[in-house]
Structure 1
Amino acid sequence: MKRILFPTDFSEAATNAFVHALEFAKSINGELVLLHAFELPVYDNHYFPENYMIIYESIELAEFEHFKNELPKLRAIAQKRNLDDIRMTHRLMDGGLMFAVEKAIKEDQIDYVIMGTEGATGWIDALFGTNTTAVISEVDIPVFSVPVNAKFKSIKNIGFTTRFRPKDKKALIKVLKLAKKLEAKVKCLYVKTDSSDVSKETIKEWEHEFANDAVEFNVVFSDEVKESILDFILYKEIHVLTMLTYKRSFFENLFHHSLTKDCAASLDIPILAIPIK
């Protein structure tokens, strides 16, 4: 059974992502590990020489009570969607989010991370949320980034951006396995610019190799990579966009904030970031 880590701060974005996490767990026969991390403040012991433990214990107790009070709300969401049979466990951890996520991934043998992000202009800005970007950049497992405005839709079309490299092929094989469980189709996109060096023969080799899989390959000739991806999402009715993470700057360069805000706002879909070594 696959294990899905769901970090939450009980915000609107996190609550929205919880619905996606529930539905994804159902689709892949998985279970959820709910994680709430909090950081203890640093006090100068010159001013609080005798009250250290009292202060920290009171903060930990307050976080525990908050955590305990919020969990029934999440269970109510699961019950409303008839998904209350999905196994859920809980972790309340002190420390930074990144520390908590990495520790939970290791100790709970996590396969996926699903987390909500907030952004004023849709999923492009949402991708740059400090916490989400850090998690995507650091962890070695796939991360679903769910914008606050991304309402859940059944995943039938998975977008996959590629440059037809061997490492891309390994990632595509993983995505195809996931697509099979979701009963979805993978739609690949290669934006061929004037400086692109991928040959027609390479593309044909990929098409031949994956001829029996639920995948299609789309080649768009354009120097406007960002806009081409947005058009692809819209016209191919993509429900989740898969992107390969080589380094953090890849996202920052690809999705610069100069994109039209109205366009971005109309394309609120989750991002599935897959780390490539």
Structure 2
Amino acid sequence: MKKKITILVPTDFSTASRSGMRFAIQWAQQQDAKLVFVHILQVLRMTDWSDQQFEAFLRAERTLYSRRLRKVADQVCRPKNVSKENYSIEVLEGGSADITLTELGGKHAGIDLICMSTRGAGKFKKLFGTHTGNVILRSDIPVVAVPASYRAKPIERILYATDLADYASEISRVLEVTRALKAEVIVVHFPQPGEARLNPALANKIWQKEYGYPVKLHYETPDPDLSIADNLQIAIRKLKPSLVVMFTDRKRTLFQRIFYPSQTENLSFQLKVPLLVMGKKE
């Protein structure tokens, strides 16, 4: 029996946060998935309140925001015919949304994916410092950052951008998360001058046998006058993926070279498609 995955979907009730909800619903429609819509309740305690007064206020706030979250969840799920058995809501108290979500993901063994909107932080250089960016950097669970402009459409093509340093284990992990979507998976690499190349046809054949799933290797010749971010943006426009996948760790990997470029690089990469970020294994 296939495992039913659980997708955690945070919302602050803003219009921008609806994009993360829409993408999570699209994912759930292509795979047997349960959605958990979450709102982080930030409650300030007045200094002159007694414990009883604060608890009464907290209960009232939980009730108010639980009703509001239920209404929003129903509004986005009903048009897509998502059964109420396949989604639930949770209102949690926390001082910071990103810290609360990261801690929740670490403690909750049943969460497989966190899906959240970038809240309009269109450029990668603006993404970090936001709640979404902080969750990406801290979370041990894969995180999907969804642009605020996202509109629901089938997830048909997945672009996994890699430097090929650890592609064997990374392809396996990408497929662990995305296999059930039954989408085309393209491994995109930007070769450097003089770099030895794998034979794409042979690699595709070997990967099909090893992973039991069709995975295609695609070399994209970079423009040396452009940054890595700009070259990746060109590849995305050309290949038109529904989802981009990257891995990150503390080393200067392809992910860091895009998100944290040197001062000489002109970073103008626009996040126009959902980005799935997974942490590298130690």
State the aligned residue count. 265
Tell me how far apart the structure 2 counterparts of residues 106 and 33 of structure 1 sit (CA, whole Å).
15
* Per-residue deviation, residues 258-277 of structure 1 (Å, max 9, x unmatched): 445xx73xx61100001112
Q: CA deviation at 1:118?
A: 1.4
Contact 2:102-2:138 within 8 A present in 1 as well: no
Q: Give the secondary-structure state (helix, strand or coil) at the position aligned to 2:244.
A: strand
Alignment of 1:82-93 (within 5 A): 82-85=81-84, 87-93=86-92
Alignment of 1:219-230 (within 5 A): 219-222=219-222, 223=224, 224-230=227-233
Tell me the equivalent position of 2:6. 3
Q: Give the secondary-structure state (helix, strand or coil) at the position aligned to 2:175.
A: helix
Contact 2:37-2:73 within 8 A present in 1 as well: no
Tell me how far apart the structure 1 counterparts of residues 42 and 145 of structure 2 sit (CA, whole Å).
22
Change (3 A) 1:142 1:88: same
Tell me how far apart the structure 2 counterparts of residues 203 and 169 of structure 1 sit (CA, whole Å).
14
Change (3 A) 1:76 1:151: same
Change (3 A) 1:42 1:203: farther
Contact 1:93-1:100 within 8 A present in 2 as well: no
Tell me how far apart the structure 1 counterparts of residues 16 and 272 of structure 2 sit (CA, whole Å).
13
Residue identity opposite 2:197 in structure 1? K
* Per-residue deviation, residues 246-268 of structure 1 (Å, max 9, x unmatched): 139765641469445xx73xx61
Contact 1:7-1:36 within 8 A present in 2 as well: yes
Tell me how far apart the structure 1 counterparts of residues 16 and 40 of structure 2 sit (CA, whole Å).
16
Q: CA deviation at 1:8?
A: 1.6
Contact 2:200-2:216 within 8 A present in 1 as well: no
Q: Which structure 1 segments of 5+ residues have no match?
A: none
* Per-residue deviation, residues 30-82 of structure 1 (Å, max 9, x unmatched): 10122211233365x4xx2x545424642552343023123123212211112
Taking only the aligned residue pairs, the percentage that are identical comes to: 22
Tell me how far apart the structure 2 counterparts of residues 252 and 201 of structure 1 sit (CA, whole Å).
24
Change (3 A) 1:177 1:58: closer
Contact 1:26-1:86 within 8 A present in 2 as well: no
Tell me how far apart the structure 2 counterparts of residues 217 and 24 of structure 1 sit (CA, whole Å).
24
Q: Give the secondary-structure state (helix, strand or coil) at the position aligned to 1:155.
A: coil
The alignment status of 1:26 with 2:29, answered yes or no, reads: yes
Q: Give the secondary-structure state (helix, strand or coil) at the position aligned to 1:159.
A: strand
The alignment status of 1:151 with 2:151, answered yes or no, reads: yes
Change (3 A) 1:232 1:173: same
TM-score after normalising by structure 1: 0.82
Q: CA deviation at 1:152?
A: 1.8
Tell me how far apart the structure 2 counterparts of residues 53 and 253 of structure 1 sit (CA, whole Å).
52
Change (3 A) 1:86 1:199: farther
Contact 2:248-2:280 within 8 A present in 1 as well: yes
Q: Which structure 2 segments of 5+ residues have no match?
A: none
Change (3 A) 1:42 1:192: farther
Tell me the equivalent position of 2:274. 270
Contact 1:32-1:87 within 8 A present in 2 as well: yes
Q: Give the secondary-structure state (helix, strand or coil) at the position aligned to 2:108.
A: helix
Change (3 A) 1:177 1:85: same
Change (3 A) 1:85 1:36: closer
The alignment status of 1:124 with 2:124, answered yes or no, reads: yes
Tell me how far apart the structure 2 counterparts of residues 221 and 151 of structure 1 sit (CA, whole Å).
30
Contact 2:66-2:90 within 8 A present in 1 as well: no
Tell me how far apart the structure 2 counterparts of residues 112 and 36 of structure 1 sit (CA, whole Å).
16
Tell me how far apart the structure 2 counterparts of residues 94 and 140 of structure 1 sit (CA, whole Å).
21
Tell me the equivalent position of 1:64. 63
Change (3 A) 1:101 1:150: same
TM-score after normalising by structure 2: 0.81
Contact 1:2-1:31 within 8 A present in 2 as well: yes
Residue identity opposite 1:138 in structure 2? R
Tell me how far apart the structure 2 counterparts of residues 114 and 192 of structure 1 sit (CA, whole Å).
31
Tell me the equivalent position of 1:243. 246
Contact 1:123-1:147 within 8 A present in 2 as well: no
